[in-house]
Chains A and B, each alone.
Chain A
Amino acid sequence: MEKLKNDNISELGLPRHVENNLECKDIKTISEIVNQSKNGRLYEMIWYKETLKIINYKLQKYGLKLWNYDDEEVLSQDEICYLYCQYDGSDNPLNYYGINNIELLTSLTKAELEKLLKLPKYEVKRIIETVHSYDLKFADEREEIISIERKPFISLGFSKRAIHILMDGNIYSVSELIAKTKNELKKIEGMGAVSLNEIIQKVHSLGLKFADEREEEKTSKQSDTKGPINDGISVSEPSDKPNEDKTQSQQFAADLEQAKKEIAELTRDIAALKQENEMLQRQLQDILKYLDIGEDDARKNK
């Protein structure tokens, strides 16, 4: 167990975005973290579980802990490395692009890290240094070839919309995706015909198949080996086309409704954020004016 030199949160060596998050909420000392966890207020201010995990992990090094905290899971070195790679807490690009663990992150090349995640150069440098400090390597630094199934969706050309829908369905990697059937994908909230079609085509273009497709293939191979059971005259079933068209147009109508709803929500959110932005800009101007006036007074008194 290590000893604390002082009560400042910087002593804990938390990831920068976690420190900023705490300071934004006026929590500047370690005692405050512990006290706020005792009275439960910490969990009203910070609900992002990865943030709470890393805080608890760091406190434990000094014989302290979060009170009323249920998660006793031990963090692995890989998880800790990933937490230190995160950019802005709940707003970080890694989460935004569905890269939710260190394996997906390090399956990228360093060039992909910069280009695909659109991170500033200093952030790319920081993430690379963090990964190296945990003796891990990016794809272009390793001798092995990373298989497609281990790469994140963003590096394989999936659209952001498709990635977010898959994240809503708790699917973060290609291997998790192809373990599903197409019917299971249809049931994911927000999965419309266009997105489903895009995902299916993308998987096929990578030379992969869904669980139901692999099962069908297996079944048809088995029936082929048994030999023909009729005299070769095939009887085709009556066409279901009119019913298919009706279902498809219902699906399109549902997709359109869903898209309109999302656009309306996003437009409202953006309007509220713009209002907040204007208010913050005004606040900033007032403070800067006050600081200028304060300095002027100080000069006059001299």
Chain B
Amino acid sequence: MMQEKINSIESDLKSLNEYIEKLEEQKKQLEKDNLKLKMLIEELKGKESC
């Protein structure tokens, strides 16, 4: 009984860890996208001033 509880908690914690990984990936992707947008804006600002 006790062992079952422990297994269940471990499984829940594992799922939480997986959820955290997904959030970290989402964050990385957003950082990349924002960096690309910033670079594109800089490039276009250069054209704008021409």
- Could you tell me the distance between the alpha carbons of A281 and B35 in the complex, rounded to whole angstroms? 12
- Could you tell me the distance between the alpha carbons of A102 and B45 in the complex, rounded to whole angstroms? 38
**A residues 93-145 in Cβ contact with B at 8 Å:** 96
B37→A277 contact, CB < 8 A = yes
Q: How large is the interface on B (under 10, 10 to 19, 20 to 34, 35 or more residues)?
A: 20 to 34
Q: Which chain B residue has the least Cβ–Cβ distance from A260?
A: B16
Majority SS at the chain B contact face = helix
| Interfacial chain A residues near B35, Cβ < 8 Å | 24, 88, 91
| Interfacial chain B residues near A23, Cβ < 8 Å | 39, 42
Q: Given contacts A20-B39, A273-B27, A280-B41, is CB(A194)–CB(B17) below 8 Å?
A: yes
Say yes or no for A290: interface residue by CB 8 A criterion. yes
Say yes or no for A224: interface residue by CB 8 A criterion. no
A284→B37 contact, CB < 8 A = yes
Query: Which of A161, A193, A267, A291 has the most C-beta atoms of chain B within 10 angstroms of its own C-beta?
Result: A161
Q: Given contacts A248-B6, A266-B27, is CB(A24)–CB(B37) below 8 Å?
A: no
- Which of A159, A270, A276, A277 sits near B17, CB closer than 8 Å? A159
| Interfacial chain B residues near A20, Cβ < 8 Å | 39
| Interfacial chain B residues near A96, Cβ < 8 Å | 28
B21→A159 contact, CB < 8 A = yes
Q: Which chain A residue has the least Cβ–Cβ distance from B20?
A: A262
- Could you tell me the distance between the alpha carbons of A266 and B29 in the complex, rounded to whole angstroms? 13
**A residues 217-275 in Cβ contact with B at 8 Å:** 245, 248, 252, 255-256, 259, 262-263, 266-267, 269-270, 273-274
Say yes or no for A192: interface residue by CB 8 A criterion. yes
**B residues 4-50 in Cβ contact with A at 8 Å:** 6, 9-10, 13-14, 16-21, 23-28, 30-35, 37-42, 44-45, 47-48
| Interfacial chain B residues near A269, Cβ < 8 Å | 27
A245→B2 contact, CB < 8 A = yes
- Which of B21, B25, B42 sits near A24, CB closer than 8 Å? B42
- Could you tell me the distance between the alpha carbons of A277 and B39 in the complex, rounded to whole angstroms? 13
A259→B13 contact, CB < 8 A = yes
Can you give 5 A-B contacts (C-beta < 8 A)?
A24-B35, A255-B13, A267-B23, A280-B41, A288-B44
Beyond A160-B25, A290-B48, 10 additional pairs, beta carbon < 8 A: A161-B18, A193-B10, A248-B6, A255-B13, A256-B16, A270-B30, A284-B37, A287-B44, A287-B48, A291-B48
Q: 5 closest pairs, A vs B, by CB?
A: A273-B30, A266-B23, A280-B37, A259-B16, A194-B13
